[in-house]
Structure 1
Amino acid sequence: MTAETPHTWRSTLDSVVVYAQGAVCRRLARGSVPANGRLRVTGLPRSLDPGSLRVRVLGATPAVCVTEARVEVEAEPLGTGAPETLRREVERLREEHAAAQGRRDRQLGLIEEVRGLHPVPPPRKRDDPHRRTPVDAWLGLADFVEERLTRLHARLVELEEALRRAEHELAVAADRLARASTDAPPAHVETTVSAALTLDASSDAEAESNAQTELELELEYAVPGAVWVPAYRLTHRQGDGTGRLVLRASVAQRTGEDWTGVHIAFATADLRRRTDLPRLRSMRIGRRQPATAPSGWREPPAGLADLFAGYEAAGPRPALRPAPPAPRPATAGVRAGSASGPVPPPPPPPSVPMPPAPQGYGAPTGAFPVPGGVDAAAPAVFGAPMPAAMPAPAQPSRSRAAGRPGGGGFGAAPAGMAPPAPATPGGPPPPQPPPPLAGPPQPSGAELDYAALVLCGPDEHGGRRGRLFPGSPLDPEAAACRRRAEAVATLPLPGHAVRPRESAGSFDHRFDAAARADIPSDGTWHTVTVGEIPVGLRTEYLCVPSVEPTVYATLLLSNATDQALLAGPVEVTVDGDFLLTAALPTLAPGGVRRVGLGPAEGIRVIRRTNLHESTSGLRNNTTVLDHRVHVELANRLARPVTVEVRERVPVTTEQDVRIEERADWTSPEAGTGPEHHAPGTRIWRVDLPAGATAALDGGYEIRIPAGKALVDGNRRS
């Protein structure tokens, strides 16, 4: 067989679902099925999670299925593009700024030198008479210094102005470069990420027919570096019971690819949420027994080396990379299709110190004592001591014999415990095994991370294929891309914005945008209109005159949809005029919340109080504190309004203290209003016509024993 170059399909980004942190992208690729069933789909970003790649065939094509999908990274020289041009412009402006700063500094040095010029008289001896001061010379030097400094300062002003212009141009260019899309590579070598796919047809006839037809594939993958917060725009007309609430989303992404013309949706779920199921442990009464730690190790299957005999007999597999070296002969077992007996083992390696082999699934990090009769490749259960004696198996496992030269694997012997080579006449003595460690084997954290273990394929050699090993970490470039993408989560939020996970509570919601959107990968906030949500609106006016003599306008929002409205900023527009930006609280389906609009200058309120203290009872043993409250309202608006006046009545838990109310106010019902009321709250609801006034009178009496008094005195309003 000869290696064939796989067909290359281009893909287009079709839809994106942005979660609380991160996003799931969906790409579409279309083309004809190649004869060998192998193809490569390009266009994937560098920051994608390789383990999240999912591929499926769209349409009614049951004869074709995807049997393999993996991520491949290739590098090629980078041509000149827009980001490279911006980068060169920034470097040029930085050099100009440095030159302008150097000229300014040199001018300042000249000014300091000229400023240091001053007349110095010659030294005078003790016997010399006094000399006359050359005033003309002194004045001439002063004129020269002044003239020279004038010209130098004029030049300094020009240089400082040029330096300010250079700083401004450099700052603008650096900002443009920082805000440029990360869809283009930042280095001189362009990294191409593609998905290598293998398609399989059920029969040759169907494969030939599918090769003539178009096939559409869907690729789905997760990327970090995308966040969103909800925002709203509320349009309301006074006197109307409904409003227009537009849900918008502020999105920032630095995933490495521009989202151009994509269907976008927003979800409050967390892509990194746990998926493991909770485990309920038993409750034991009696003597304490140590809990048996679950073991992830098990005996490797017998004949693991013979599992790949047919693969080796078929010859090298066509691959994109160079063919792997010839496999080593198996140390035990018979090759499929061979009439000869077992292949003789290879000669023992020379006594050369070898580096420790990588540890695999079930292999400890060091050597440990092996009891007699137990194979060296069968470690004990993690967390439990090894038994003193164990019956030897009737026939040694072939996989263990074949897996020793390659280091530890799924059930392989630990590093440094290769079987001793037999001594040859005249040769060096076999190396001694390292000293045993005390206690049972302790696997590393990478070996216990079962989700990160990778099953080595048939192309692996040296005892690794068919065994589980910890997956290789990301290369430095991919790690840098992920760090740069995850930095979007630290962006400062817009005003009144709340993270979706904080406002969604215990439930998750998804909002699908009505139209396609464009969001560049520049790491800044962009606003996307999601859709219109019908809400019920009612304008109410609220005042608490005992706290502040001001009437506030409020909007009661009722959510009649089956989706929750998350907390976020809302821009309120009343009668076509922008009013303010308020904070909308989380509104559950069917819920009602109040949003404040600020003081209503057209409604006035005045509150007066009066306290009368007296005694009552048979022997005047009860003090009566009679509180009177008088509230006046005046509507100066051109329309009728409904005003809610809130007062408070003291509450007590003392048995000898009584409170009697004398007013027509009402107590708010618990759990029925849009907000929680404190104990003792009383409410007046008044309908005021345009230009009308109203007066409200109320009060209460506090009866306490004569020998007691209220804290801070009885006479309080």
Structure 2
Amino acid sequence: MATAEAAQRWGSVLDAVVVYAQGALCRRLARGSVPADGRVRVTGLPRSLDPGSLRARALGAPGVRVTEARIEVEAEPYDTGAPDGLRREVERLRDECAAARGRRDRQLSLIEEVRALRPVPPPRRKDDPHRRTPVDAWLELADFVDERLTGLHSRLVGLEEALRRVEHELTVALDRLARASTDAPSAQVETTVSAVVALDGAEGTEVELELEYGVPGAVWVPAYRLFHRRGDSGGRLVLRASVAQRTGEDWTGVRVALATADLRRATDLPRLRSVRIGRRQPAPASSGWREPPAGLADLFAGYDAAGPRPVTAPARDAVVAGAAPVPVAAAGGPASAPVPPPPPPAPSAPQGYGGPAGVLPVPGGVLGAPPAPFAGEAPDLAAPPPPLRPQRAGKARAGGGPFAAPAAMAPAAPFGAAPPPPAAPAPAPVAGPPQPSGAELDYTTLVLSGPDEQGGRRGRLFPDSPFDPVAAEHRRRAASVAALPLPGHAVRPRESAGSFDHRFDAVARADIPSDGTWHTVTVGEIPVGLRTEYLCVPSVEQTVYATLVLSNATGQALLAGPVEVTVDDDFLLTAALPTLAPGGVCRVGLGPAEGIRVTRRTNLHESTSGLRNNTTVLDHRVHVELANRLAGPVTVEVRERAPVTSEPDVRIEERSDWTAPGDAPGPEHHAPGTRVWRVDLPAGGTAALDGGYEIRIPAGKALVGGNRRS
């Protein structure tokens, strides 16, 4: 039997991971022969996986197909002999810290005892003569206390130093434990997650299973490294990714892909309802829903006739022999009478579905009127019971239903107490056809209730909402990576991707432990266009800056993130790269270019013109000189700004060979009035640029801030 069980358990290997903006999609591979019963158990799945995301398919065997795949959780004692040195080290340091703290506290208590020593003279009676003070004894006691305190304080210094050292070691060990991988179990009972897969195929056929499942607790942000050499017209841009994951399993030797999509985003198609003009018509019934079948109670007649199920050990321990049954308490009201066990069902009197036709079952009850319990069915404990009324002997409810209690069993109110409030009336049935909610129409989450369900749920479909506290804790710990502080200049993929989604596949396999910290993964090299340009705005600062104009020549967007610029094998700086769509262009600054000098001088000449000198002419002249002291030719872009106006009586005439930014190629958006010179300077060459403009305003007016412009 053990051999058969071992043959049905297949080990699996994590092969590939696709990391999304939040969460990841993992792909595991398992290989083996199809057993006789066709059912195999694939082990190695993480505890934090989403059970609804499991997908399985058979590879390499055309005649084998997967007919069922579900998740099962097993618990087994944790192997204490497994290597867990870090956790044992923390426990050892805790014990050592407690012992050191105890020694320090005992030393402090000894110091307080010695410090409390003082001479106490004997009490003097009324007729006793005055005595001489024993000064020598007092001095000897003071010397003894001083000597003793000196020794105790010397030992206390050593004990406090030892305590500080152990506390520091404990703090370091706790930090290492907190940053350690969550792949290891954290309790003495290990819970393992397996996928039970049913295969339909010939026995003994070799097959490779592919399991795909989603896990939370994985995030990534892009990063870049740019290599450039001075004088070259190109460069290399390497895409890297900072990945952090706390999924509960280490990703060792996996193929990593990075996607900008949101794994948790709903992809359901919207439901478009028709708009009709005319008389109001009832809403049509939702597609896929039908009324409950009649005679549902007969389905469990044989099960009920077989008698009650044997009581399990926990339930047997909870029931005390000879104890009275526990009364059922209504919400907000007094406890009701004890519920007697239901009688066996009457096969000749089927009660149907447990409610009127057209009533939709919902969790904890029905939509509309509450269902009447059929024979052999316990009432819904979640719903308030009907009020108990005194009945005469022999006038009990026919059929001996679960709420048919005699008057003697009704709880009596204490003397002088107010009578209990009346029970709330049952809600009126909803008129019209049933309106099932979205949970009842989500067929993937509906589960058929078994014969042991209470409250009229037997044989009906209800949304499955199991709560696993262990899995919830694992998912909560996994989701904590979303709050990690981002690296410098990093931007989350969903914020920079905008309305598009892309996927980037790493060129090599990578190792990413489940420790919740950032790890760098090299994705690959991206072909980009690079050219070096020099830029200066002499009206603001007479300094020339070197820049790299980067153009995206790929079909994928480059996401925003930090870029490390390396020029001539020397690290230069880390800049922020904006999002670049396919064909986009951006500029990355490299700092001041000390080998290029720029000088700017301005001259203003003010005069009048017109028939009666009624126009003031402000003639501004700009002179810019450039000098290239580099070893190669350069292209320098000099920017100036001409004034703009919306006043009809102000005219501006430009007299220069500069161009507007719209006519010159460039990656930035320029302010109105910006003018550009583009000059090619050979090695050791110079250039002089002359420009200017005239401002004509009425003679009785002046420019705001003065007529002189720099």
TM range (shorter): 0.7 to 0.9
8 A Cα contact 1:382 1:440, kept in partner = no
Counterpart in the other structure of 1:645: 638
1:324-473 pair list within 5 angstroms: 327-328=303-304, 376-378=355-357, 405=377, 422-423=398-399, 436-440=425-429, 447=439, 450=442, 453-456=445-448, 464=457, 466-473=459-466
Counterpart in the other structure of 1:176: 176
Q: Percent identity?
A: 74
Counterpart in the other structure of 1:706: 699
Amino acid at match of 1:18: V
1:114-193 pair list within 5 angstroms: 154-193=154-193
Aligned-residue offset at 1:379: 5.1
Aligned-residue offset at 1:77: 0.6
Aligned-residue offset at 1:636: 2.6
Aligned-residue offset at 1:493: 0.7
Rounded to whole Å, the distance in 1 between the matches of 2:399 and 2:550 is: 89
Counterpart in the other structure of 1:683: 676
TM-score (norm: length of structure 1): 0.76
Counterpart in the other structure of 1:128: none
1:446-480: CA deviation from partner (whole Å, max 9, x where unpaired): 95683674221677666645522121333111100
Aligned-residue offset at 1:600: 1.9
Aligned-residue offset at 1:142: 9.1
Could you say if the C-alpha distance between residues 424 and 683 of structure 1 is closer, same or farther in structure 2, counting changes exceeding 3 Å?
A: closer
Amino acid at match of 1:173: A
Could you say if the C-alpha distance between residues 484 and 352 of structure 1 is closer, same or farther in structure 2, counting changes exceeding 3 Å?
A: closer
Could you say if the C-alpha distance between residues 428 and 473 of structure 1 is closer, same or farther in structure 2, counting changes exceeding 3 Å?
A: closer
Rounded to whole Å, the distance in 2 between the matches of 1:670 and 1:138 is: 103
SS at match of 2:530: strand
Counterpart in the other structure of 1:369: none
1:607-618 pair list within 5 angstroms: 607-618=600-611
1:692 to 674, 685, 698: 685
1:286-337: CA deviation from partner (whole Å, max 9, x where unpaired): 99x699597586312456577x79xx9xxxxxxxxxxxxx82369xxxxxxx
Amino acid at match of 1:686: V
Aligned-residue offset at 1:139: 9.8
Counterpart in the other structure of 2:254: 262
State yes or no: 1:27 paired with 2:18: no
Counterpart in the other structure of 1:506: 499
8 A Cα contact 1:380 1:440, kept in partner = no
Counterpart in the other structure of 1:547: 540
Rounded to whole Å, the distance in 1 between the matches of 2:458 and 2:18 is: 37
Rounded to whole Å, the distance in 2 between the matches of 1:635 and 1:154 is: 73
Could you say if the C-alpha distance between residues 301 and 689 of structure 1 is closer, same or farther in structure 2, counting changes exceeding 3 Å?
A: same
8 A Cα contact 2:618 2:707, kept in partner = yes
State yes or no: 1:538 paired with 2:531: yes
Rounded to whole Å, the distance in 1 between the matches of 2:52 and 2:437 is: 19
1:581 to 574, 595, 599: 574
8 A Cα contact 2:533 2:548, kept in partner = yes
Could you say if the C-alpha distance between residues 101 and 680 of structure 1 is closer, same or farther in structure 2, counting changes exceeding 3 Å?
A: farther
Counterpart in the other structure of 1:74: 74
Amino acid at match of 2:15: D
Counterpart in the other structure of 2:245: 253
8 A Cα contact 2:440 2:462, kept in partner = no
2:203 to 194, 211, 216: 211
Could you say if the C-alpha distance between residues 352 and 90 of structure 1 is closer, same or farther in structure 2, counting changes exceeding 3 Å?
A: closer
SS at match of 1:713: coil
Aligned-residue offset at 1:118: 11
Amino acid at match of 1:422: A
Could you say if the C-alpha distance between residues 105 and 712 of structure 1 is closer, same or farther in structure 2, counting changes exceeding 3 Å?
A: farther
State yes or no: 1:621 paired with 2:614: yes
State yes or no: 1:567 paired with 2:546: no
8 A Cα contact 1:670 1:676, kept in partner = no
8 A Cα contact 1:295 1:382, kept in partner = no
Rounded to whole Å, the distance in 2 between the matches of 1:551 and 1:269 is: 41
Q: What is the number of equivalent residue pairs in this alignment?
A: 626
2:221 to 215, 229, 232: 229
Rounded to whole Å, the distance in 1 between the matches of 2:359 and 2:560 is: 55
8 A Cα contact 2:291 2:358, kept in partner = no
8 A Cα contact 1:640 1:689, kept in partner = yes
Could you say if the C-alpha distance between residues 163 and 689 of structure 1 is closer, same or farther in structure 2, counting changes exceeding 3 Å?
A: farther
SS at match of 1:638: coil
8 A Cα contact 1:656 1:704, kept in partner = yes
Rounded to whole Å, the distance in 2 between the matches of 1:139 and 1:435 is: 88
Higher mean displacement: 608-617 or 470-479: 608-617
1:275 to 267, 270, 287: 267
1:567-588: CA deviation from partner (whole Å, max 9, x where unpaired): 1111111111111111111111
State yes or no: 1:595 paired with 2:588: yes
Aligned-residue offset at 1:538: 0.4
Aligned-residue offset at 1:589: 1.3
Counterpart in the other structure of 1:606: 599
- The CA RMSD over aligned residues, in Å, is 4.4
8 A Cα contact 1:549 1:606, kept in partner = yes
Amino acid at match of 1:571: E
1:61-86: CA deviation from partner (whole Å, max 9, x where unpaired): 23x22221111001011013677432
Rounded to whole Å, the distance in 1 between the matches of 2:169 and 2:266 is: 48
Aligned-residue offset at 1:192: 0.8
SS at match of 1:644: strand
SS at match of 1:579: strand
Aligned-residue offset at 1:165: 2.1
1:20-63: CA deviation from partner (whole Å, max 9, x where unpaired): 0000011111111111112211111000000001111112423x
Rounded to whole Å, the distance in 2 between the matches of 1:647 and 1:291 is: 71
Aligned-residue offset at 1:443: 9.0
Aligned-residue offset at 1:699: 1.5
SS at match of 1:328: helix
SS at match of 2:690: strand
1:347-384: CA deviation from partner (whole Å, max 9, x where unpaired): xxxx9976899xxxxxxxxxxxxxxxx9933356899x
8 A Cα contact 1:83 1:180, kept in partner = no
Q: Structure 2: 5+ residue runs without aligned partners?
A: 123-131, 307-324, 332-352, 363-370, 387-395, 411-421
Higher mean displacement: 463-472 or 507-516: 463-472
Rounded to whole Å, the distance in 1 between the matches of 2:244 and 2:25 is: 14
SS at match of 1:72: strand
Amino acid at match of 1:231: A
8 A Cα contact 1:224 1:485, kept in partner = yes
Rounded to whole Å, the distance in 1 between the matches of 2:542 and 2:81 is: 64
Rounded to whole Å, the distance in 2 between the matches of 1:34 and 1:686 is: 78
Aligned-residue offset at 1:632: 2.4
SS at match of 1:93: helix
Could you say if the C-alpha distance between residues 215 and 464 of structure 1 is closer, same or farther in structure 2, counting changes exceeding 3 Å?
A: farther
State yes or no: 1:97 paired with 2:97: yes
TM-score (norm: length of structure 2): 0.77
Rounded to whole Å, the distance in 1 between the matches of 2:115 and 2:632 is: 76
8 A Cα contact 2:649 2:698, kept in partner = yes
Counterpart in the other structure of 1:36: 37
Aligned-residue offset at 1:111: 7.1
1:506-531: CA deviation from partner (whole Å, max 9, x where unpaired): 11000111111111111111111111
SS at match of 1:100: helix
1:237-275: CA deviation from partner (whole Å, max 9, x where unpaired): 111122111111111000001111111111000011121
8 A Cα contact 1:549 1:605, kept in partner = yes
8 A Cα contact 1:542 1:644, kept in partner = yes
Amino acid at match of 1:186: S
SS at match of 1:212: coil
8 A Cα contact 2:537 2:543, kept in partner = yes
Rounded to whole Å, the distance in 1 between the matches of 2:610 and 2:81 is: 96
8 A Cα contact 1:406 1:464, kept in partner = no
Rounded to whole Å, the distance in 2 between the matches of 1:23 and 1:607 is: 57
Rounded to whole Å, the distance in 1 between the matches of 2:60 and 2:114 is: 85
Counterpart in the other structure of 1:53: 54
